[in-house]
Structure 1
């Protein structure tokens, strides 16, 4: 009876250029302990200069490599059928002027969006009416409402995004991080499907 080995591929991993990808880097392995060190160090793929920033490793090719070396093992693939490998190339440090320009652009854009929203919903009139209802007096600038409202608006944004510069306020992911994660997951899924289609075209030829 063949010895079972279970392999669960990771959804995606990040490696450096020209790295040698091992089975232990892209998967979790369960099986006989005497085989595990060899499986973890088994070379699956070598990143070459011709590779772009994304490489898809198919689970069937991994099973084929294992069976060739260990024909007495029964290899079962669990979870994803492909692992998307992202090749992280060295990034140049952005200039201070570029960072300042982007920050200024985002700041002005966010300020304009907030002001336009307040203008559309007549926020000033609402605050003036609220001041009249609470005090019985009319004023054009109810500062005792506007100042706390402005401070609360900024604090609310900090709490919403769960970050103060690079410091996380709690362990929960921010909405931005969740959206980035969903985008990355959809991107990896698309790349894996597209790679399979390209492979099938070559097989048909």
Structure 2
């Protein structure tokens, strides 16, 4: 029986700077050879400072390297054809002043956006009309309607984003998470296109 190894590359991994990548780091491996563990520890790439924050391991180049080392074994690549390697760098400590400034800016901006929206749709007049229809009295500030509406607006945003701090209400992703996922997919496609060794050589 022909000795055969199947490889499925991991889509994205995170490693430390100057990490020596082994085959098991970037791929799931299975096959019918007796001692498959020797392939797990095959050294395939040394992360260097030139890689900066990200590197791409291409499946074609990986197969070429494997065939040179094990010419008697048949290798087959299934699934994705590239692995994106995120390289961890030393992070600076968070600046409390910067975080506070950004937090205040976002809060003020969000509040202004909500207020401007309510002004554009004449929310005050709408609430006054609702209060008049429900009670038959004309009131300039129907607080019994406005206060529950304000709490409901905040609660609705919490339910919409499906989070209170780190607590999640259910397993369904929030719209923000879906958008972040789509953004990450586009970013991965860009990295594969521009950071791939084969693509760079073709340019």
What range describes the TM-score normalised by the shorter chain of this pair? Answer: over 0.9
8 Å contact from structure 1 (residues 23, 43) kept in 2: yes
| Change in CA separation of 1:35 and 1:192 when aligned onto 2, cut-off 3 Å | farther
Check whether the contact 1:18–1:49 (CA below 8 A) recurs between aligned residues: yes
Aligned-pair CA distance for 1:33: 6.1
Q: CA deviation at 1:170?
A: 2.2
How many residues in Structure 1 have an aligned counterpart in Structure 2? Answer: 201
Distance in 2 between residues matched to 1:133 and 1:38, nearest whole Å: 79
Cα distance in structure 2, aligned partners of 1:109 and 1:161: 18
Kept in 2: contact 1:20–1:46 (CA 8 A): yes
SS in 1 for 2:34: coil
Q: TM-score, normalised by structure 1?
A: 0.92
Matches of 2:186 and 2:73, distance apart in 1: 34
The structural deviation recorded for 1:91 is 1.2
SS in 1 for 2:50: coil
1:36 Cα deviation after fit: 3.1
1:93-145, Cα deviation, whole Å (9 max, x unpaired) = 21111111110000000000000011111111111111111111110111111
Within 5 Å, give how 1:26-37 maps onto structure 2.
26-32=26-32, 34-37=34-37
Question: Could you tell me which residue of structure 2 aligns to residue 64 of structure 1?
Answer: 64
1:24-82 residue CA offsets vs partner (Å, 9 max, x unmatched): 12111121263432232222211112221110111112112221222221111111211
SS for the counterpart of 1:50 is helix
Aligned to 2:113: 113
2:201 corresponds to which residue?
199
Matches within 5 A, 1:53-132: 53-132=53-132
Alignment RMSD (CA, Å): 1.5
Contact preservation (8 Å) 1:2, 1:72: no
Match status 1:143 vs 2:143 = yes
Rounded to whole Å, the distance in 1 between the matches of 2:123 and 2:58 is 56
Given the alignment of the two structures, is residue 156 of structure 1 paired with residue 156 of structure 2, yes or no? yes
Distance 1:50 1:106 in 2: 36
TM-score, structure 2 as length reference: 0.92
Q: In the TM superposition, what is the alpha-carbon distance from 1:168 to its structure 2 partner? A: 2.2
Deviation, 1:89, is 0.9
Which structure 2 residue ranges, 5 or more long, are not aligned? Answer: none
